[in-house]
Amino acid sequence: MTKVRIGYNQIEMQGYIHIDPKPVNPDIPAYPNPLSEIDLDTIVDNNECTEIVAGELINFVPAEKLVNVIGQISRKLRHGGRLCIGGTDLYAFSVAVINGVLNPLEANEAIYSKAKESMIPMNDVADLLIRLGLVITNRELNGISYIILAERP
């Protein structure tokens, strides 16, 4: 049962293959490319993964590369395999700025911290997952951040 964790500066999770260009734990080898250039074919086979956790992945992939990256990820899931993916929702972010929930300093940090590349709305990512053949099992918006849980039927 292969499990994969994809992200930046993540703490180690036992039992997972870590794909992280800047791992917190120096014992975990750093992935040599940015996540927008991920090549999972060299790491796991198609239909191999029971679980892929990519909690903030959307933030680190430019919008024009998102279909390719999520397509690669979805091909790695076996039937019944689960995907956890998330990011920052642009609509929720905009509303938070307009309503004063995020002050300009917090907004600036949310945009430019951790080398963020995009803020794709949650529903757009969910629609992409559905087009790729996954079934959405849960989606949660917490402030400006979201997590989508999906499964390959």
Give me the residue spans of the domains in the chain.
2-151
Q: What pTM did the predictor assign? A: 0.92
pLDDT for position 68: 94
Angstrom distance (rounded) from CA 102 to CA 85:
24
Residue type, 75: R
Three-state SS sequence of 56-91: CHHHHCCHHHHHHHHHHHHHHEEEEEEEEEEEECHH
Taking the C-alpha atoms of residue 139 and residue 84, their distance in angstroms, rounded to an integer, is 10
Residue percentage of the chain with pLDDT more than 70: 98
If pLDDT is split at 50, 70 and 90, which confidence band does 72 have? very high
- Write out pLDDT tens, residues 54-67: 988 999 999 999 99
Q: Which of 26-30, 49-53, 107-111, 137-141 has the lowest mean pLDDT?
A: 107-111
Q: Could you tell me which residue, 104 or 4, shows the higher pLDDT?
A: 4
Q: Which carries the bigger pLDDT value, residue 117 or residue 124?
A: 124
* Beta strand 49-54 pairing with 2-6: parallel
Asked if 87 and 66 count as a contact pair (C-beta separation under 8 A), the reply is: no
Name the DSSP letter for residue 97.
H
Residues near 14 by beta carbon (within 8 Å), at least 6 away in sequence: none
Average pLDDT rounded to a whole number, residues 65-74: 95
pLDDT of residue 115: 63
How do residues 20-42 score in pLDDT, each as one tens digit?
A: 999 988 888 999 999 999 999 99
Q: How high is the pLDDT of residue 114?
A: 61
pLDDT at 147: 98
Can you list the alpha helix ranges (DSSP code H) found in the chain?
A: 66-76, 90-98, 104-112, 122-131
Mean per-residue pLDDT of the chain: 93
Beta-strand relationship, 17-19 and 49-54: unpaired
Write the CA distances from 35 to 7, 38, 78, 91, 103, integer angstroms.
7, 5, 22, 24, 29
Q: What is the pLDDT of residue 104?
A: 87
Homologous superfamily of domain range 2-151: Vaccinia Virus protein VP39 (3.40.50.150)
